[in-house]
A and B are shown apart, each in its own frame.
Chain A
Amino acid sequence: MEPLESSPAHAAPTIPNGSGAAALLATGLGALSLALLSLTADKSPAIKDAMIFYAPTGPLSGVTTSAIGIWLLLWLLLDLLWRKREVALSRFAVLAFVLLLISLLLTFPPLAHLL
């Protein structure tokens, strides 16, 4: 049997699940923002131009920088809101995973061109 100090999971105080739910949901929403920004930049020349943060990389620079900013901001805000709370983790986990899958599909060009 391992000594107590080498089994921290059993010794540490229980951490509320809110932080986990915040990380999952923020990442699902961040991924969705990436997909939606790439879609809108593809459809609208004005947004495409606005997304050129670094000319050699083109609109990819603005789309990804903006999506990362949204993702990190959401993560920070949701974590501040939920870090000391127990939340419906399973529900948020499923929602976040579905958002991530939708994002994966929305970046697929033939599907994106249909919208």
Chain B
Amino acid sequence: MEISTRALWTLIHGMGFGGLYLLACSGALVELWRRYDPAAPAPVSRRDETFMATYLLVMAGLAWLAVLSGAYIVYPWYRALPPPGTLDLHGYPQQLLIADPATSGWHELGMEWKEYVAWLAPMAITMAAGVYLRYKGQLRRLPALRNAVLGFVLISLVAAGIAGFFGAEIDDHAPVRGGAILHWMQKG
């Protein structure tokens, strides 16, 4: 069993940082909705506050790691240009996609949307974490602020979902491959 370093980085970027971020979004939405509702019966304890602050900070970390690893590690491999006369475009995913009308949309719509929309997620969740660190349990007495934070977390989920969907499809049609091969298991 083997994997190329580029494929491994794509996995770390998409399924690691991005996938974990998407999973974490639902938890943040539920917690902000349920526990910080002005009418919620139970008080917000110091333990709740520490948990929520840590949770949002970890989410922000995941979101930044996802976009930074995508933009500065995986994306340069994706958009690399082949030397003139190259016929086999499998090492050049962007060129491979746009060379075929049946797949060009994955770049022209998918990647061109994904490369920018993804950045809304770390911005929105960092804002949510910053607001939470400042107000903590007092979010309950500021329903407009709590609702706006919820809205931003929801938009960050949508943005990360768009990026994740197109990332998975693009990697399916023109995977980023190459670099050193890592052998995980060998027979004999």
A residues lining the B interface (CB < 8 Å)? 2, 5-10, 12, 14-15, 17, 19-21, 23-24, 26-27, 30-31, 34-35, 38, 54, 56-58, 60-61, 63-64, 67-68, 71, 75, 89-90, 93-94, 96-97, 100-101, 103-104, 107-110
List chain B residues, Cβ under 8 A from A17: 142, 145
- Take A2-B43, A97-B152 as given contacts and tell me if A108 and B113 are in contact as well, using a CB distance cutoff of 8 Å: yes
- Take A100-B124, A104-B158 as given contacts and tell me if A57 and B75 are in contact as well, using a CB distance cutoff of 8 Å: yes
Q: Is B184 an interface residue (CB 8 A)?
A: no
> What secondary structure prevails in chain B residues at the interface with A?
helix
Q: How far does the Cβ of A79 sit from chain B's closest Cβ, in whole Å?
A: 9
Binds A, one of B1-9, B84-92, B132-140, B169-177: B132-140
List chain B residues, Cβ under 8 A from A107: 113, 116-117, 120
B residues lining the A interface (CB < 8 Å)? 43-47, 49, 67, 71-72, 75-76, 79-80, 108-109, 112-113, 115-117, 119-120, 123-124, 127, 130-131, 134-138, 140-142, 144-145, 147-149, 151-152, 155, 158-159
A27–B152 CA distance with the chains assembled, in angstroms: 9
Among B44, B72, B119, B145, point to the contact of A24 (Cβ < 8 A): B145
Which of B127, B134, B135, B147: most chain A CB closer than 10 A?
B127
Q: How far does the Cβ of B109 sit from chain A's closest Cβ, in whole Å?
A: 5
* Contact of B108 with A109 in the complex, beta carbons under 8 Å: yes
A6–B42 CA distance with the chains assembled, in angstroms: 12
* Contact of A6 with B46 in the complex, beta carbons under 8 Å: yes
Q: How far does the Cβ of A14 sit from chain B's closest Cβ, in whole Å?
A: 7
Q: How far does the Cβ of B34 sit from chain A's closest Cβ, in whole Å?
A: 15
Among A30, A97, A108, point to the contact of B148 (Cβ < 8 A): A97
List chain B residues, Cβ under 8 A from A14: 138, 141
Among B45, B67, B120, point to the contact of A103 (Cβ < 8 A): B120
* Contact of A68 with B43 in the complex, beta carbons under 8 Å: no
List chain B residues, Cβ under 8 A from A21: 145
